[in-house]
């Protein structure tokens, strides 16, 4: 089983000649030209290739971009959380994106899609009273003995963790947020420069701690900092100074080092792949081994 990272929350999980695309956004200049990938992508829409399934976690453009979706093969099947109203389903219909099938799956209702491929949706934290609660979702994949948890933008919360751990046991790979994208504090004019910087740091620290808490509870073999890698371009580029997200997922390493869990962090560059079966990174025909202790944990489960 192999995961290939494109950028942000976009990646492809593939196994036994089946491929699942996560949250398609590869065209820069979304949100009226403001958002660009950072670090810059090393791969693009042309590198997606044929996919069998497309999981779209929610309607936000950095997870559901029409400029990318229009290039995806239409014989793919789409995986969504079943909800009312279903913004993503309406978006697909309004844009004329007619795929082979759309699976609207209720939360915590596992569905077998193909032989040994089971997908399950986990709802966002109901106590997080913001728009994300109404639109977001997380995905659990159980595939041929491997368990993948893709939280994307969903801030992990204890009840959700308990469901994943109780239902699926050991998580092989957890794709976890380590920060979040928001107009706060950058766009708030009632805050001073110093107040914005202070809030930026507070939110950044909160995001990293959330990542650490999720790793401590789920105990995944690998934890990958995922989603929310962007920069603001154009006339509003000055707002980057106040964005609470660090440019690199490696910021979680120091926090996890305190718990001796830093060797579980999986960092992938755009265009880089990781083979869960062999515990190796692959980039430009080069293979990089990772710690043997963790490799044995994975290999013993296959």
- Fold entry, domain 2-299: Metallo-beta-lactamase; Chain A (3.60.15)
CA distance 173 to 13: 11
State the CB neighbour count (10 A cutoff) for residue 55.
26
**pTM of the prediction?**
0.92
CA distance 207 to 188: 20
- What would you measure as the largest C-alpha separation in the chain, in angstroms? 56
Q: What is the pLDDT of residues 278-295, one digit of tens each?
A: 999 987 444 455 554 444
- Judge contact between 211 and 241, C-beta under 8 A: no
Q: What is the pLDDT of residues 205-222, one digit of tens each?
A: 999 999 999 999 999 999
- Judge contact between 220 and 264, C-beta under 8 A: yes
Q: Which residues of 211-236 are buried (b: 16+ CB within 10 A; e: fewer)?
A: bbbbbeebebbbbbbbbbbbbbeeee
CA distance 183 to 3: 31
Q: Tell how far CA 287 is from the center of its chain.
A: 24
Omega into 85 within 30° of 0, i.e. cis? yes
Residue tagged 């305190």 (tokens): 258
Whether 226 shows a pLDDT value over 80: the answer reads yes
Domain assignments of the chain as residue spans, ordered by start: 2-299
- Judge contact between 62 and 30, C-beta under 8 A: yes
The helices-and-strands tally (H runs, E runs) of the chain is 8, 17
Q: Tell how far CA 228 is from the center of its chain.
A: 8
Q: What is the pLDDT of residues 118-168, one digit of tens each?
A: 999 999 998 766 566 678 999 999 999 999 999 999 988 899 999 999 999
- What the block records as the tokens of 179 is 């920060």
Q: What is the pLDDT of residues 54-108, one digit of tens each?
A: 999 999 999 999 999 999 999 999 999 999 999 999 999 999 999 999 999 999 9
Whether 302 shows a pLDDT value over 50: the answer reads no
């Amino acid at each position: 089983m192999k995961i290939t990272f494109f950028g942000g929350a976009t990646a492809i999980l593939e196994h036994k000649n089946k491929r699942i695309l996560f949250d398609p956004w590869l065209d820069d200049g979304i949100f009226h030209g403001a958002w660009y990938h950072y670090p810059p992508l090393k791969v693009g829409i042309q590198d997606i290739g044929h996919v069998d399934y497309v999981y779209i976690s929610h309607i936000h453009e950095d997870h559901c971009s029409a400029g990318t979706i229009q290039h995806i093969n239409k014989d793919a099947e789409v995986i969504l959380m079943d909800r009312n109203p279903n913004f993503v389903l309406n978006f697909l219909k309004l844009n004329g994106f007619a795929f082979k099938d759309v699976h609207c799956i209720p939360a915590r209702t596992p569905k077998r899609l193909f032989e040994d491929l089971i997908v399950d949706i986990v709802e966002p934290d109901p106590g997080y009273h913001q728009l994300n609660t109404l639109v977001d979702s997380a995905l659990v994949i159980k595939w041929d003995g491997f368990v993948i948890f893709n939280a994307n933008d969903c801030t992990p919360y204890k009840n959700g963790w308990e469901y994943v751990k109780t239902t699926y046991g050991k998580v092989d790979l957890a794709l976890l947020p380590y920060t979040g994208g928001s107009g706060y504090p950058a766009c708030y004019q009632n805050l001073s420069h110093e107040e914005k910087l202070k809030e930026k740091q507070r939110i950044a620290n909160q995001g990293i701690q959330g990542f650490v808490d999720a790793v401590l509870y789920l105990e995944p073999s690998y934890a990958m900092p995922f989603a929310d890698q962007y920069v603001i371009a154009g006339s509003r580029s000055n707002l980057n100074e106040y964005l609470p997200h660090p440019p690199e997922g490696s910021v979680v390493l120091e926090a996890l080092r305190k718990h001796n869990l830093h060797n579980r962090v999986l960092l992938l560059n755009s265009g880089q792949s990781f083979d869960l079966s062999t515990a190796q990174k692959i980039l430009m025909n080069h293979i990089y081994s990772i710690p043997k202790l963790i490799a044995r944990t994975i290999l013993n489960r296959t």
